[in-house]
A and B are shown apart, each in its own frame.
Chain A
Amino acid sequence: MANEIWVLAEHQDGKVKGITFELLSGGVEFSKKTGQKVVALLLGSGLEEATKGLLPFADKIYLLDHPLLSPYTSDAYESALLPLLKEHQPSIFLGGATSIGKDLFPRLAMRLETGYAPDCTELSVDEEGRLTVKRPLFGGKVFAEMVFSEARPQMATVRNHTFLIHENLGKSAEVLSIPIQLDPSSMKKKVIQVEKSSGERVDITEADIVVAAGRGIKGPEHFKIIEELANVLNASVGTTRAVVDEGWRDLKDQIGKSGKNISARLYMAFGISGAIHHVLGIGTCKTIVAVDTDPNALIFNYADYGIVGDLFQIVPALTEELKKVLASEG
């Protein structure tokens, strides 16, 4: 049994994703208590650049390089990871609560008959390396604290921005290439096309800052002012179910129970009344700002800062003010 903390690394076009750096940083924090080594698992094809990116963040990198591992399919990743997990049985195995983590981890946990907690928003360990997690239920109305049995690894997928990225961990990872045999005939699914959303913005579940507008925007053409604000903040743009149902914005931008949960550091809601299914999607955002014309809007019950005002007046002024302030810092 390897007394190690393993992290499934995610990467795109050679760049390691933020969530991976967050999980590795978190793992290193844990290791200060437990003395465990932190290992990044990097799967894919043509991984040189990604490996370089990971070196300062882990003690070890297990490199699984095989053409069938790119693009991601659960078949291929499962075939590659299961023998390793069975052999080493690391203490903890973490992944992002992403389209990969949420897809793969249930299968691994089922096969390995170990414990798995999805979409965790808080994690901690004791000296023995026993993991405790907190995760939201009922859309976030209640949280559950969970612990694991003796089975190893203790598995969890973690929401974006749960851990902070620590730049200077003082690590230089040892890179180990793991030879893998993958039988192409057992890779049942085939990815035939990857369609990227238009626009440069990061997915709202991954974004540091999200600005959103609801019904108060009164029409799709007015989203322009929100986009301009997002440009200044390098933010992503979200919206509510009401706007998506009207057809003004795409479903992928929807924040809320039947849309996406976001965990941004800063969330700004403009013209959003604060219906329960929306606010449940923003619960884990660190700082929330709300602007609405209705002083009784429910959103103010969930915000840190609020302004009763007209977004059409506030948003452009906010953009201008931010431009000034951010420019002045150089």
Chain B
Amino acid sequence: MALDFTFTEEQEFFRQTIRDTVNRMIMPRVKELDEKEEFPWDLWREFAALGYLGLRHEEKYGGMGTDTITQMIFYEELARGSCGFFMSVTMQILMGTYFIGRFGNEEIKQRILVPAIKGEKIGTICFTEDQSGSDLAGTRTLATKVDGGWRINGRKQWITNGPIADFATVMATVDPKLGLKGLNFFLVERKTKDRDGFVSGQRLHKLGSRCSVTGELVFDNVFIPDENFLGEEIGKGVQYAGEILNEVRVMTGMSALAIAKEAMEDARQYANNRIAFGNPISKYQLIREKFAKFWAWYEAARTFLYKCAWMIQNNIPCTNECMLAKYHATEMCMYAVEEAMRIYGGNAFCTEYPVQRYWRDAKFLLYGGGTHEVLCDYLGRVYCKG
């Protein structure tokens, strides 16, 4: 008997523990984190001390080596709190350290991965550039082979943790004419007096996820040694990107679930207590419809996302499914945060109420892991091919 839609008792226990941890450590501070627009170092260190940054990595480097579903439960619960903190943490847990863990040599793992898992060194990943986001082939950051290593030249944009990053996994092309086949990943560290590396460029001020500091990284003819090439061979960059993107998309979907849920729970409380024309507004059909639609959509999104997590865990190819699930969950979230604002009426416009923060935070979901327009174009094409 195959189909089993339940979590194990242990997974439920894990979820409860993360939920409680988020409630205690993060929830009391979400408003402050959003307003200050500063990286919360004290919270980061407290959180790192609990050990969660090692969720995906091997025990020998200080990690926990958990399975995909457990990781997704973690993301779903973490995203309930501060979206910005979620972004910085997940960057550290997943994108920022994935390639190091997979392709770095022992020296690099000891020097970089071990302190990263402790939260002592901050990592990030660099895809986006001024002129290219979803269009990976448009990458112009150049990696030129030199004696004993490579020289990296270019600028990367929208880098989560960028302004505070100690190291970065950089996607660069060895030759723009090769298109996707030219893409590869390299480890570049921050420039110090002893070592060449990147420097911070402009800091971005964002609409949401504001405590996650985002900015530009500049690579000015940076020299990196051969061992900083992250991969088995040249030209497999896109393939590796595809492999990590499945997880990234499901993770993004998890945050869509969490933001949507928080927004609508908030809206529900409001609707049950706000009196208009003699009744709580939750008694009116047009309001009720919003909740019903959200609920149906949310349940479907959640089931689909966990199915994708299960597929990843069981090594079942699921590139399309992960794209679809991310797209689906994000559109659901867009609906939820919009409707939550509408339910609040005029009060939505007031920053004292949290509902506007969910709306602002949610917007990044539309392009994290690929814009919906690009995803739909791709998925539609795949579907039509038969």
Shortest distance in angstroms between B112's beta carbon and chain A's nearest beta carbon? Answer: 39
User: Does residue A104 face the partner (Cβ distance < 8 Å to B)?
Assistant: no
Nearest CB of chain A from residue B25's CB, rounded to whole Å: 14
Binding site for A on B (CB under 8 A): 273-275
A296 CB contacts on chain B under 8 angstroms:
273-275
* Residues of chain A in range 275-315 having any CB-CB distance to chain B below 8 Å: 296, 298
Identify the closest chain B residue to A295 (Cβ).
Answer: B275
**In whole Å, how far is B192's beta carbon from the nearest beta carbon of chain A?**
42
4 contacts between A and B (CB under 8 A): A296-B273, A296-B274, A296-B275, A298-B273
B311 to chain A, nearest CB (A): 41
- Tell me how far the C-beta of B278 lies from the nearest C-beta in chain A, rounded to whole angstroms: 14
In whole angstroms, what is the CA distance A296 to B273 when docked?
A: 6
List of A residues within 8 angstroms of B273 by Cβ: 296, 298
Identity of the chain A residue whose Cβ is nearest the Cβ of B28 in the assembled complex: A245
Q: Could you tell me the distance in whole angstroms from the C-beta of A299 to the nearest C-beta in chain B? A: 11
Q: How far is the CB of B198 from chain A (nearest CB, A)?
A: 42
C-alpha spacing A296/B269, complex, angstroms: 11
A contacts, CB < 8 Å to B: 296, 298
A to B contact number (C-beta, < 8 Å)? 4
The 4 A-B residue pairs with the shortest CB-CB distance in the complex, in nearest-first order: A296-B273, A296-B274, A298-B273, A296-B275
Residues of the A chain whose Cβ atoms lie less than 8 Å from the Cβ of B274: 296
CA distance A296 to B274 in the complex (A): 6
- Bound together, the chains give a CA A46 to CA B274 distance in angstroms of 60
| Nearest CB in chain A: distance from B31 CB, A | 13
Q: How far is the CA of A258 from the CA of B86 in the complex (A)?
A: 30
Query: Nearest CB to that of B270 among chain A residues?
Result: A296
When chains A and B are docked, how far (Å) is the Cα of A296 from the Cα of B276?
Answer: 11
* CA gap between A298 and B280 in the complex, in Å: 13
Please measure, in the bound complex, the distance between the C-alpha atom of A298 and the C-alpha atom of B272, giving whole angstroms: 10
Q: How far is the CB of B188 from chain A (nearest CB, A)?
A: 44
**Residues of the B chain whose Cβ atoms lie less than 8 Å from the Cβ of A298:** 273
Closest chain B residue to A296, Cβ basis: B273
Kindly state the separation between the CA atoms of A298 and B275 in the bound complex, as whole angstroms: 12
- CA–CA, A126 and B93, complex, Å: 68
Please give me the residue from chain B that is nearest to A300 by CB atom. Answer: B273
How long is the Cα–Cα vector from A321 to B263 in the complex, in angstroms? 44
| Residues of the A chain whose Cβ atoms lie less than 8 Å from the Cβ of B275 | 296
**Closest chain A residue, CB of each to CB of B280:** A296
Q: Which residue of B lies closest to A245 (CB)?
A: B28
**Distance A298 CA – B273 CA, assembled complex (angstroms):** 8
Question: Across the two chains, which residue of chain B brings its CB closest to A298?
Answer: B273
From residue B23, how far is it (CB to closest CB) to chain A in Å? 13
Minimum Cβ distance to chain A for residue B277 (Å): 15
Task: State how many angstroms separate the Cβ of A231 from the closest Cβ of chain B.
Answer: 34
**CB nearest to B273 among chain A residues:** A296
Q: Nearest chain-A residue to B269 (Cβ)? A: A298
Q: CA of A296 to CA of B346 in the docked complex: distance in angstroms? A: 14
Separation of A298 and B274 alpha carbons in the complex (Å): 10
> How far, in whole Å, are A6 and B149 apart by their CA atoms in the complex?
92
Bound: A76/B275 CA distance, A:
57
Q: Which residue of A lies closest to B347 (CB)?
A: A296
Minimal beta-carbon separation of B164 from chain A (angstroms): 30
Closest chain-A Cβ to B130's Cβ sits at a distance in Å of 46
Q: How far is the CB of A296 from chain B (nearest CB, A)?
A: 5
Q: How far is the CA of A31 from the CA of B373 in the complex (A)?
A: 82
Tell me the bound Cα distance from A298 to B269 in angstroms. 10
Task: Look across to chain B and name the residue whose beta carbon is closest to the beta carbon of A274.
Answer: B273
Shortest distance in angstroms between A257's beta carbon and chain B's nearest beta carbon? 15
Instruction: Look across to chain A and name the residue whose beta carbon is closest to the beta carbon of B275.
Output: A296
Minimum distance in angstroms from A178 CB to a CB of chain B: 52
Minimum distance in angstroms from A295 CB to a CB of chain B: 8
CB proximity of B33 to chain A, nearest CB, Å: 18
- Docked CA distance A146–B273 (Å): 35
CB distance from A83 to the nearest CB of B (A): 48
Alpha-carbon gap, A296 to B275, bound state (A): 8
Q: Please give me the residue from chain B that is nearest to A301 by CB atom.
A: B273
Q: How far is the CB of B160 from chain A (nearest CB, A)?
A: 32
What's the minimum C-beta distance from B252 to chain A, rounded to whole angstroms?
A: 33
